[in-house]
Structure 1
Amino acid sequence: MNIYFACSITGGRKDEIIYQSIIVYLVNSGHNVPTAFLAQTNIMMKENNTTPSEIFTRDTSWIHNCDCLIAEISTPSHGVGYEIGYALNLEKPVLCLHHCDTRISKMISGNPHHLLTTNAYATTKEAITRIDQFLTP
């Protein structure tokens, strides 16, 4: 499956270890994740050489070509919110994951879109379980 993984970059990187665990799990499960590099520790430096226009074109193309989008939304991010809305507008299934002790935007929690799933998790293992449930028809 072609999965677009979305996570905070400029909004904060406190959940980087979780991002990395999710990416490792998805890739090891045989999925193609074009955004896997977003979980890397030095992503801010790598993206500094890419223009905003290039990032927009690249990322929206990946969303167009993905089967679904999985977002870790514990750290607020304008970009991730945009990507979620963009994917839903294209009728792509979206899974939003967040720490169980984190308040998320009511624009996400109140969204009735039939392809949007939002799940809280307490551990990385639980996040992986939520991903499996989402990916299994």
Structure 2
Amino acid sequence: MKIYFSGSIRGGRDHRELYSKVIDELKKYGQVLTEHIGNEKPSEKMSDQEIHDQDMNWLRESDIVIADVTTASLGVGYEIGRALHLNKPVHCFYQKEKESQVSAMILGSNELSCRAYQNAEDIFEELRQIFT
């Protein structure tokens, strides 16, 4: 199984440590195509066009998309929209206390599975349910 993990990079790195833990957990279920999202400083050596094209190739190649939507990010929203267009299953997670900040376009979509979490263990339990 090829997993595309999406989370805010340029929009803020507040959740980087959590992303890293989630990516480690996701590796139990398949190949995570976007491991760099959990890195302290993702590579900036690529042009914006190269990043877009690489991410689109990974999206097309993926079997499933897991996205943290706690931090507003145009990139994450774009990836979710493109994933839906490609008929990929998309599962979104967000911090429960920040629910009011998550876009209604995400929470209100019947095409997405959205779940609140309070800590990494909540996400891990949801991932077990998704993948088993």
Tell me the TM-score normalised to structure 1 length.
0.91
Q: Could you say what the CA RMSD is over the residues aligned between the two structures, in angstroms?
A: 1.0
Alignment match, 2:59? 63
Alignment match, 1:37? 36
Alignment match, 1:83? 79
Q: Deviations over 1:23-68 (max 9, x none)?
A: 11112x151011011110011xx1x211111111100110001000
| Runs of 5+ unmatched residues, structure 1 | none
Alignment match, 1:110? 108
Aligned residues: 130
User: Percent identity among equivalent residues?
Assistant: 35
| Runs of 5+ unmatched residues, structure 2 | none
Amino acid at match of 1:3: I
Amino acid at match of 1:36: E
Q: Deviations over 1:54-86 (max 9, x none)?
A: 111100110001000000111110000000010
User: How many angstroms apart in 2 are the aligned matches of 1:11 and 1:53?
Assistant: 18
Amino acid at match of 2:11: G
Deviation at 1:130, TM superposition (A): 1.2
Amino acid at match of 2:117: Y
